[in-house]
């Protein structure tokens, strides 16, 4: 599996499928629904922003998922999703493992307490719960 930073709108539709999916909305800070053109606007802004990076993961040219990286107060926050038809096959774990190994940085993440696959995946890969904030685990991954 390999990943590249998103620099254009080529993966726009795949990202929309991942982010608009009900599980992604349910476990996100913002439960608001959005249409494709709102999503395009969001993506353009992310591509422009220096504090945001989006990485797309591919296996044999097929899009598997993405990881988003956001910088806030000098800390890097991650979020992730796998294509709806590729969920629960171990791809999420592979994707995040590969990313953490290549980057070797300290990262933070918020995972909804009811999001079992995401919680299991992050704890398994070395994230530690540092705090509970409302319905979210505040997690930290310490670089090796």
Ligand X SMILES: CC(C)(COP(=O)(O)OP(=O)(O)OC[C@H]1O[C@@H](n2cnc3c(N)ncnc32)[C@H](O)[C@@H]1OP(=O)(O)O)[C@@H](O)C(=O)NCCC(=O)NCCS
Question: DSSP alpha helices (H): ranges in the chain?
Answer: 12-20, 22-26, 36-48, 91-103, 116-124
Rounded-to-integer distance, Cα 100 and Cα 80, Å:
12
Of 27 and 55, CB closest to ligand X = 27
**Residue 67 sits in the site that holds ligand X (CB under 6 A):** no
Tokens for 61, please give them.
């040219």
The footprint of ligand X on this chain (CB under 6 A) covers a number of residues equal to: 22
Q: Tell me whether strands 136-141 and 128-133 are parallel, antiparallel or unpaired.
A: antiparallel
Using CB under 6 A, pick the residue from 81, 100, 107, 141 that binds ligand X.
81
**Residue 90 sits in the site that holds ligand X (CB under 6 A):** yes
Using CB under 6 A, pick the residue from 6, 11, 27, 107 that binds ligand X.
27
Long-range contacts of 38-42 (CB under 8 A, 24+ apart): 39/12, 39/15, 40/9, 40/12
**Residue 15 sits in the site that holds ligand X (CB under 6 A):** no
**Residue 59 sits in the site that holds ligand X (CB under 6 A):** no
Pick the stretch among 1-9, 42-50, 110-118, 125-133 that binds ligand X (CB under 6 A).
110-118
Binding site for ligand X (CB under 6 A): 23-24, 27, 79-82, 87-93, 111, 115-118, 120-121, 124
């Amino acid at each position: 599996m390999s990943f590249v930073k998103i620099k254009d709108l080529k993966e726009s539709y795949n990202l929309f499928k991942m982010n608009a999916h009900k599980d992604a909305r349910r476990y996100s800070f913002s439960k608001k629904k959005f249409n494709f053109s709102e999503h395009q606007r969001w993506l353009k802004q992310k591509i422009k922003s220096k504090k945001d990076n989006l990485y797309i993961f591919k296996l044999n040219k097929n899009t598997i998922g993405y990881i988003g990286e956001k910088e806030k107060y000098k800390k890097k926050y991650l979020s992730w999703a796998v294509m709806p038809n590729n969920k629960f096959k171990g791809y999420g774990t592979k994707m995040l493992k590969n990313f953490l190994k290549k980057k070797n940085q300290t990262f933070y993440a918020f995972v909804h307490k009811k999001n079992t696959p995401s919680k299991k995946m992050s704890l398994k890969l070395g994230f530690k719960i540092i705090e509970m904030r409302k319905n979210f685990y505040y997690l930290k991954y310490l670089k090796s």
